[in-house]
Amino acid sequence: DAGVIQSPRHEVTEMGQEVTLRCKPISGHDYLFWYRQTMMRGLELLIYFNNNVPIDDSGMPEDRFSAKMPNASFSTLKIQPSEPRDSAVYFCASRQGNEQFFGPGTRLTVL
Amino acid sequence: GEDVEQSLFLSVREGDSSVINCTYTDSSSTYLYWYKQEPGAGLQLLTYIFSNMDMKQDQRLTVLLNKKDKHLSLRIADTQTGDSAIYFCAEEGSSASKIIFGSGTRLSIRP
């Protein structure tokens, strides 16, 4: 298996633009997580899904953030409109049983 | 609530042993984890320990668990420059569906 796949790896956009981050979990994993990592706040859990259903979105910072998982092999995290303070590395992770694996992350820069 | 605490920095001499410590709050955690994050990369699952174990050894890595004190440690024997990274301690949350991460310990190796 190729592991968790995220795209794009880097995204630079201007304030106010819509940003969509994509994730393909490991096949067969029933949990999918979105995290954000910054120097100031460390690693934050934004939202997670179980069998494509959102379970806990209490970490989503604002209504500007939304996440979907239309099927077991794909999820998106959307920010609309984006702001400079959204600049961070966004990680997707998937889990089966007690082992959770992370993707390589998307480094987002909002100018 | 659920919380995982670890020191932010550790510096060791090449060839010495590194010991990274962590405390957690949820006594019902079934699994406790150590993840490694190298610069520009995602978090990599290093090892984990089941809560009914006191120790787990895997090559140069030794995990010690003290359930009474809710203390977890990771010992890296014969530390090498390639071990430079941020090490995250994590516990399985009470819901058993999400993992709670500490803030990470940045390990630096000096010659």
Which residue from A40, A60, A49, A63 is spatially nearest to A93, judged by alpha carbons?
A: A49
A76-80, B59-63, B94-98, B99-103: which has the minimum mean pLDDT? B94-98
Which of A42, A50, A102 comes nearest B42 by C-beta?
A: A102
pLDDT in tens, A95-106: 988 889 999 999
Sheet holding B18-24, edge to edge: B4-6, B18-24, B71-76, B61-66, B55-58
Residues, chain B: 111
More confident residue, A22 or A40: A22
Residue B101 has pLDDT above 70, yes or no: yes
User: How far, rounded to the nearest angstrom, does the alpha carbon of residue B10 sit from its chain's CA centroid?
Assistant: 13
What residues of chain A lie within 8 A of the CB of B103, using their CB? Answer: 42-43
Q: Quick check: B42 contacting A, CB < 8 Å?
A: yes
- CA separation, residue A60 to residues A43, A47, A56 (Å): 13, 6, 9
Task: Report residue B1's pLDDT band, with 50, 70 and 90 as the boundaries.
Answer: low
pLDDT in tens, B22-80: 999 887 888 999 999 999 899 999 999 998 999 999 999 999 999 999 999 999 999 99
CB pairs under 8 A between A and B: 41
Torsion, CA B57, CA B61, CA B66, CA B72, rounded to 10: -150
